[in-house]
Structure 1
Amino acid sequence: MIFQFVNSKNIFESYETKFTKFEQREQSYKDSIASLQNENSDLKLFNLEYNDDALSYFDDKGYNSLELIPFIKDELYKLNNYKGDDHPIVPYVSMTDGKMLINNVRLLNHKWIIANFSDGKHWGELFITYELIEGNELKFKLVEYFLYPIN
């Protein structure tokens, strides 16, 4: 009987230790999930897709925002197809054999865009305003820009 009691007690303590470790791990996972949810919420700020006021602006003008957002991005990316050295929006000429190209675009709201560009070695960022003109024509205006120095 004593043997069974000691053996059962050891098994019980072993399970209790494992259970405590699982509880700690679960809490750690919950904390990680909460942190990622907060980070995701922060990323939704300054993003047209989650800006109800900016989307309403387009809806009030009769545009379908689900179609408009990809259209605006595509029109900006189309500017990468240029001849010569001068990009239509990027104010820097490539200092390599490549061309300056817009890589990433984020629509902040119904008027502003941020984008980055690179020629493969040099890169920078742009602040662009845009205006939708009747007939789905876009007018881009470069407001601010900079090129990162090479270390």
Structure 2
Amino acid sequence: MNAKKAKESYDLKIDNLKEKITAKETIIDSLTNTNMDLTYFSLDSNEDAISYFEEMGYDAKKLALTISDQIISQNKAGKDNPIIPFVGMEGNMSINKVRLLNHKWIIADFTDGVYWGELFIIYEVKEGGVVDFEVEKSFLYPKD
């Protein structure tokens, strides 16, 4: 009798664990799909843009870091970032986050600590690794 109860108990535990595994696999699938959606517009997942840079002789990941660093490094203490077409009202305008969408476009957000906005930047990598930036569009959110 004890062996039968023990087997039933183990079988119940196994079934519960199988249900948990199934639930976790469903969550993992959902998170994977969400991640794919979120990274769709990203240089990291754009094979054509990566190939474009590789054909120019660049490692796309290293180049992306270099470009992001070039933009953020223009944040200087006591000065607005010159890429941002707005003057800081409550401090200096600085770029916080940069995302390369592909081999030609960047989005970035900026703030002065109170006001914030976003930029749409067109960029071009020229011979010798020189990068030209042009702010195509920008906006400043209204203060609440």
TM over 0.5, shorter chain: yes
- Stretches of 4+ moved more than 3 A in 1? 7-13
Q: Choose which of 55, 67, 70 in structure 2 pairs with 1:72.
A: 67
Deviations 1:33-56 (A, max 9, x none): 111211222233111122111122
Displacement of 1:89 in angstroms is 1.4
Q: Deviations over 1:85-122 (max 9, x none)?
A: x43111222221x3111111110111000111112222
| Equivalent of residue 133 in structure 1, options 108, 123, 126 | 126
Equivalent-residue separation in structure 2 for 1:122 and 1:110 (angstroms): 29
Structure 2 residue identity aligned to 1:95: M
Q: Structure 2 counterpart of 1:78, which letter?
A: S
Q: 1:13 to 1:100 in 2, by over 3 A?
A: same
* Structure 2 residue ranges without an equivalent (≥5): none
Across the aligned residues of Structure 1 and Structure 2, the Cα RMSD in angstroms comes to 2.0
Give how far 1:72 is off. 0.8
8 Å Cα contact 1:93-1:100 kept in structure 2: yes
* Whole-angstrom CA distance in 1 between matches of 2:72 and 2:22: 44
Q: Distance in 2 between matches of 1:99 and 1:124?
A: 13
**Contact in 1 for aligned 2:78/2:92 (Cα 8 Å):** no
> % of aligned pairs identical?
46
Pick the structure with greater CA Rg.
Answer: 1
Aligned residues: 144
The equivalent residue for 1:40 is 35
Change (3 A) 1:83 1:140: farther
1:50 to 45, 48, 54: 45
Which consecutive residues of structure 1, in runs of 5 or more, have no partner in the other structure? none
